[in-house]
Structure 1
Amino acid sequence: MALAVPPDLSDTDVPVQPLARTYPRGLYVEPHEHVWGQVLYAMSGVMWVETPNEALVVPPQRAVWLPPGIPHGIRVVSDLQMRNIYLRPAIAATLESTVQVLEVGKLLRELILGLVDQGPDQQGQEYYEALVGLALLELKRARRSVMKIPMPSDSDRRLVNLCQAVMGSPSLDISFEQHAENAGASVRTLSRLFQRSLGLGFADWRRQVQLATAVAELIQGVPVSSIARELGYSPSSFSDMFRRELGMSPSQYPLGERAA
């Protein structure tokens, strides 16, 4: 476990603060929050960003917008090369007040990298401010993704533990009964908690996690057969489930999502 240590956010005269970090697979960044807004972007690798009410899977072609004051933790799925920018409160107020998953096109990617890699001292103040302004425009116009997984705000630790275990291993090969036993509760109790806290059953919730996981891997070029096998499906049954839930085949999804 680790705590994220952001840059100095006490200087409100600067519009943004950059952060470059490398996180190893399996690391969990404990929940924390900032008074500034934050754009989380990974050049490579996949992460789950967990907020009090939802979890977001984030592959390299995505970024997460976190408004000021939103508690969030990060679960690292594969080695991450992070490039984040913090927006001072006055600038953050020009973006949404809710958590968003953004599709990162080529221009937005280069703007984020430019803001992190080179500050005003290297570029000159006028150029840097123009870079910040253009980055804000691109953040506002970036397409929003709908791949959000509801998370329990319930204080029952058994349900939270089960949800986190499924996000770590979403395969059909691990039954609800096994998850319940590992969480230290009966199937009946956890079924009731799922309905009360999330408004849906375990199978439906796990399917959302599987779809989000599959999308993240498809975007990275992982073959459909490998994804299906990892999630406990045959290739044909996985494709049928994917098409039924998202209205398109797995091979079609990345093409539509990558359009900037």
Structure 2
Amino acid sequence: MWVETGREALVVPPQRAVWLPPGTSHSIHMMSDVDMRNLYLHERNVGHLSRRADVFEVNGLLRELITSIAGHEHTHARDQTYLDAAYRLTMLELAHAPRSSLRIALPDASDRRLEALCRAVIDNPSIALSFEQHAASVGASVRTLARLFTRELGVGFAEWRRQVQLAVALSGLAEGRPVSSIARELGFQPSSFSDMFRRELGAPPTAFDPGATLSVGAEGSQA
């Protein structure tokens, strides 16, 4: 999934849970077929979690807890004793779960040129177009856009586009598509794509298998 929360987007690969604090305005884009479970946590029980949207790695126990709670919440005969115990154990697991966030900074609407360029890259993230071509397409100089990227997004254009490409790659891997096909679609040779993927995410593309994505929200949020 691609979850936008204000001025950043979080990429949520398979076997991950996205945490949305209470009151977090967001939008969710399904980048592939997704089997999702929503779990709402009471605000008084989430003080140990970040006040910023985050992504957790989901181990086997946490996965079973979330799917089990979600299943019980939708049945008419709820076992409240079981649910209370399952929630407590879920909170303990979340407190120690490793974070796994691929965050992509997003521009605000103050400069339409930067916003247009970023949306163009998100819609077509291949390396076919150069920064100069993108700049010309939005009617800005390379120097101006380079300055805007650094000031508004905190990274250069090449690094930002690489983050978007990784997001698209993770979506393709979740669909079970071949690595070579994903690489060529993004403008890479398969070997150079695998090197980039391992360098950025610490594991080769083959380590990311298709699977279900789980989401965790808090009461009061719009999850």
Tell me the TM-score normalized by structure 2: 0.78
Task: Tell me the equivalent position of 2:213.
Answer: none
2:59 pairs with 1:105: yes
Task: Tell me the equivalent position of 1:83.
Answer: 37
Gaps in structure 1 of 5+ consecutive residues:
1-46, 256-260
Q: Within 1, Cα distance between the matches of 2:11 and 2:98? A: 16
2:11 pairs with 1:57: yes
The C-alpha deviation readout for 1:101-130, integer Å capped at 9, x for no partner, is 111222222222222222274232111111
Counterparts of residues 212-231 of structure 1 (less than 5 Å): 212-218=167-173, 221-231=176-186
Using the aligned pairs only, state the percent identity.
58
Matched residue count: 208
Q: Assess if the C-alpha contact under 8 Å between 1:65 and 1:100 holds in 2.
A: yes
Q: Assess if the C-alpha contact under 8 Å between 1:180 and 1:187 holds in 2.
A: yes
Offset at 1:186? Answer: 4.3
Query: Structure 2 counterpart of 1:109, which letter?
Result: R
Q: Within 2, Cα distance between the matches of 1:126 and 1:248? A: 41
Q: Within 1, Cα distance between the matches of 2:28 and 2:95? A: 24
Q: Within 1, Cα distance between the matches of 2:134 and 2:161? A: 12
1:205 is paired with a residue whose SS is helix
Counterparts of residues 141-152 of structure 1 (less than 5 Å): 141-152=96-107
Pick 1 or 2: higher relative contact order, CA cutoff 8 A, min separation 6.
2
Gaps in structure 2 of 5+ consecutive residues:
210-223
Task: Tell me the equivalent position of 1:115.
Answer: 69
Query: Structure 1 counterpart of 2:68, which letter?
Result: G
Normalized per residue, which structure has more helix?
Answer: 2
Task: Tell me the equivalent position of 1:94.
Answer: 48
Offset at 1:183? Answer: 4.2
Task: Tell me the equivalent position of 2:219.
Answer: none
Counterparts of residues 188-203 of structure 1 (less than 5 Å): 188-203=143-158
Q: Within 2, Cα distance between the matches of 1:249 and 1:67? A: 31
The C-alpha deviation readout for 1:184-237, integer Å capped at 9, x for no partner, is 544443222112112222111111222333345445543221221121111122
Normalized per residue, which structure has more strand?
Answer: 1
Structure-2 change in CA distance of 1:79 and 1:165 (3 Å): farther
Q: Within 2, Cα distance between the matches of 1:204 and 1:124? A: 49
Query: Structure 2 counterpart of 1:82, which letter?
Result: M
Query: Structure 1 counterpart of 2:114, which letter?
Result: L
Q: Within 2, Cα distance between the matches of 1:173 and 1:125? A: 56
Q: Assess if the C-alpha contact under 8 Å between 2:12 and 2:101 holds in 1.
A: no
Q: Within 2, Cα distance between the matches of 1:50 and 1:86? A: 19
Q: Within 1, Cα distance between the matches of 2:149 and 2:176? A: 33
